[in-house]
Amino acid sequence: MLADSASALIGGDQHSGSWRQKLEVVERVIAREGRQDLDTLAHSAIYLSWIGSGAVTCVEDGGHHRPCRHAELARSIFSAVENKQVGGASPEELLAIRRLHPWLPSFTEEFTASVPLTRIRDIAHRSDLPHDLKQEIKHTIQNKLHRNAGPEDLVATEIMLKRITGHGKQRNGEHGEYPPDFVSEFKKFHRELKDFFNASSLEERLERVRNNGTGDTAIMVDNFLSAKANLGTSPPIDQLNATLSSATALRRHLCDGLRHPLGQGENDGSIADRQQRRLAELELEKYAFVLLSQLESHMAVPGQLVSGSMMWVGAMRAAHNAIIHLSLSQWEVNECNAVSKDLEELLAEAEQGRLQLGPGQDGALRLMAMLERTRRLSEGYSEALLGLFAQRAGEGFARALGVPDHTARVFCESEIRASVVFQLSKLCTAMLKATRAATGASAWDAIVSGSAEGTLVEVDRIVPGALPSGAASDQGLILLVRRADGDEEVTAAGEGVRGVILCQELPHLSHLGVRARQESVAFATCEDSDTLVGLKSMVGQRIRLDASAAGVQQPPASRAPAAALPASSHAPVSAASSRPRQEASPPASSNCNGRKASTVPISERALGSGVDLTKADTVVPLDVVEQTQGGAKSSSCGVLLRLAAEAADQNPAAAFKAPRGVCFPYGTMEHAVQAEGRTAEFNSLLERVEASQVAGGELEAACKDLQAFVSQLRPSSDVIFAAAKMLPPGARLIARSSANVEDLEGLSGAGLYDSIPNVRIEEPAEFGQAVADVWASLYTRRAVLSRRQAGVAEGTAVMSVLVQELLAPDISFVLHTAHPLSRDPDLLVAELAVGLGETLASGARGSPWRLSVNKRTGAVETLALANLSEAMVVDESAAATGDLVKVPIDYSKQPLSTSPMARATLGRCLSGLGLGGSVVGEGGCSGWVEQ
């Protein structure tokens, strides 16, 4: 079903044959009715584009309106969208507005005059022209233009210009049978008409801006035009980059003058000048695309950067300019600025010959991290354009306007391929390939080691119902997943999933990574476009996936079962860590006690050797809480608190801090139910969840009802008062889940249950709600399904709430006490990120800092540098509302990115904490530590 905005444009178009009438349709919707929502702006941009290109035909309407009417309509539309553009439009709305501007006619003074474009009248009445030519000009151009102007008039004028300047008798600059003065006047008219339709060349546009601008504007326009004129006079890469830098500087200058909204009562002349400046900056962006395309052709052979240090400098300078252009288009401005600063640092080192790009060298790691972040930025822009135009330009809208299906289908693709981002993406791809070739790094990253065979199936996300109908799950499936948010469970997609290839980077110890490891599913990520194209060509075939830390291998795939695809369709696919090690990897299907984690029901012993409810409706200090009272998480945090105190006394050099806290132990929620006299109601809801089927939404509805019930409960005021006396006054706190069904061997529950950050106990209403929300998270649909798979009855699951000081760390980390891929017990692996650790646990796209520390020797190896775009932090200026904020990360100011010594020092500190021996579970299993 078409959106209201599309229907309004279609309805208006049906009664509007001429260009003027079609402009009136857009002006009525956007300006007079004030409809400037995303749908309206996007559909209007598409509509005007199709009109301007001739895909939507304009015909005379029988009326008589001079071009001044068109100019007035354009001024009204421009004023409305320009104020929207500088007054808080969303990024997607900005994309639409920027594609609307070029299709509006000019409304400078000469075109708003009551009788504009009079030169053509004088030409048609010249006495030195043949009568038939005068009549042709009068009827096909003059009268038509002054009666019913449209883009077709510019086409007719260009045909006539070609005819009178390209006559066969023309010799040596003479004009054959046409008088030179006539040809000169007609050329002037052609330029005036191009000005009216805003079809002027970049040089012509800038000349107008120069004449109407300040002295600084004139100087910058002259500098750019001089650089443009000198192209081809010196080495092409240097000249192209110099011209690109000049275009960037001029566009930045023009954009700086367009940041304020139009003022009340602003005169028509200043609004017209503003339109010319806006169109100039848009055309400079288009010209940057041309320069980047030429640069890319000089610096890269298909998909690969040409070797040589100057090529690196040229490519980095080009990419830096492209990122600035993206920022000037107001796309992800903070992210663009952060990436730009990082690239500036690298470019300065490259220009001085200090950027080392060999295997294991710091420069290569920094450059790869920056390029991967830049590629994400460009992919986000492309995805936004697809989301903005692909469906809206679809066949329903197009057919209603008489636009051919092919034109509708290629609209969005043409917008992407004509953007600066398209060239930036090509540059990044070439530079990444060159960097990997120089360092020997792999495009793959193994998350969970193991081997798997199955039919390759492409899905958008790992969610229930993602598998296509007919997928032969009994013969094994390997998922090619386009994106993830980090909270998924592999088995949620369906039965038979043996391996996962994710088309984005992911922290190894994210919730999804931990769950995949527990579910014994081979898991790798890959963002290399060429590799992914090859993989997508194998969808439907049986492949083999080897994910390991030992290196890239390509073993032959075994023959498929008789009922599967023929053996000739098998294809091996291998994945390895980008920094391979030589240790052998045990089978991924076993956990530390050799049993398959995904098939072993969780026993009462695994659930914490019983549950102690005797502390219900009390509060327990964190340093004395026992696992039976508050769960593995609470008791482990208590251990850390005690270890911190011991370290400060015994070894100050290895001292660390742990947040203080309390525990609302098991049974506190059940006590709140009893206090309200609603035990029977609670039990009934719990039994309904236990009995509900997944199909038909039955389970989801039951879970929502039980969550709604629990979220209304509150701990008693006496308990909250007691907790307040144990916690630091005024402290910002976090309420964390600590259930008997998480942080256990075979049942991590990673990310299944909620934490509520940024609350204060001095605000008892908000604090009590936070505790209740944590309790309620025990009964989300996802948590219930996870427990069902593990064989845990709902009646055995209980939740305590761990309340701790909310830290505002510079860096958070997750440790694995043994190498998660090779299982080497001597290697501690750390993943670190700026800000709070929620970034690491989530599926945020990108890589954290990844360090491997030898616990015996203290040697630290950098496996990856961080390229995550945002950090989650506490907004200390705001009220304690349970919210966090995201801020962009500037890695040029992060010592862990710029200093190998800082990484080595921190790595040794993490190893020296002695955490490896403190968090080992029963039976000697390794574990992970979050801080």
For residues 43 and 187, membership in a common domain is answered with: yes
For residues 9 and 40, membership in a common domain is answered with: yes
Domain boundary among 164, 196, 228: 196
- Asked if 70 is an active-site residue, the reply is no
857 contact partners, CB below 8 Å, separation of at least 6 = none
For residues 826 and 714, membership in a common domain is answered with: no
CA gap 631, 613 in Å, rounded? 12
R_g (Cα) of the chain, nearest Å = 33
Q: In the 8-state DSSP scheme, what is residue 557?
A: P
Q: What angle do CA 882, 884, 886 make, to 5 degrees?
A: 165
For residues 724 and 854, membership in a common domain is answered with: no
β-bridge pairing 799-805 and 811-816: unpaired
Q: In the 8-state DSSP scheme, what is residue 747?
A: B
For residues 788 and 818, membership in a common domain is answered with: no
Amino acid identity, position 298: H
DSSP helix/strand/coil, 888: strand
What does the pLDDT read at residue 686?
95
Contact 454, 498 (CB under 8 A): yes
DSSP helix/strand/coil, 471: coil
What does the pLDDT read at residue 919?
41
Q: How many independent structural domains does the chain possess?
A: 5
Q: In the 8-state DSSP scheme, what is residue 744?
A: B
Q: Which of 43, 511, 816, 819 is catalytic?
A: 511
Contact 328, 281 (CB under 8 A): yes
Query: Is the C-alpha dihedral spanning 209, 214, 217, 221 positive or negative?
Result: positive
What does the pLDDT read at residue 567?
33
For residues 698 and 783, membership in a common domain is answered with: yes
CA gap 506, 483 in Å, rounded? 10
Domain boundary among 574, 589, 604: 589
Its domain, for residue 79, covers 4-196
Domain boundary among 805, 822, 837: 805
What does the pLDDT read at residue 559?
52
631 contact partners, CB below 8 Å, separation of at least 6 = 608, 666, 738, 739, 740, 742, 743, 800, 802
* CATH number reported for the structural domain that contains residue 904 in this entry: 3.30.470.20
CA gap 425, 288 in Å, rounded? 14
840 contact partners, CB below 8 Å, separation of at least 6 = 507, 509, 510, 812, 813, 814, 831, 832, 833, 848, 930
For residues 40 and 177, membership in a common domain is answered with: yes
Assigned domain for 73 exists: yes
Amino acid identity, position 771: V
Assigned domain for 612 exists: no
Cα→Cα distances 204→44, 107, 221, 346, 560, Å: 27, 16, 11, 37, 66
Kindly give the residue spans of alpha helices, DSSP state H, lying in 676-711.
679-691, 698-711
pTM confidence score = 0.82
pLDDT (tens digit per residue) in 225-255: 999 999 987 778 899 999 999 999 999 999 9
* CATH number reported for the structural domain that contains residue 689 in this entry: 3.30.1490.20
Contact 694, 785 (CB under 8 A): yes
What does the pLDDT read at residue 785?
85
Assigned domain for 439 exists: no
For residues 417 and 467, membership in a common domain is answered with: no
What does the pLDDT read at residue 257?
93
For residues 19 and 140, membership in a common domain is answered with: yes
What does the pLDDT read at residue 249?
98
For residues 236 and 170, membership in a common domain is answered with: no
* CATH number reported for the structural domain that contains residue 498 in this entry: 3.50.30
For residues 768 and 645, membership in a common domain is answered with: yes
What does the pLDDT read at residue 703?
96
Assigned domain for 850 exists: yes
Q: Which residues of the chain have pLDDT under 70?
A: 167-176, 300-309, 472-473, 549-609, 651-655, 743-750, 876-882, 912-931
CA gap 531, 543 in Å, rounded? 14
Assigned domain for 915 exists: yes
For residues 883 and 825, membership in a common domain is answered with: yes
What does the pLDDT read at residue 581?
34
What's the first-to-final CA gap in the chain, in angstroms? 49
Q: How many CA atoms lie within 13 A of 596 on its CB side?
A: 5
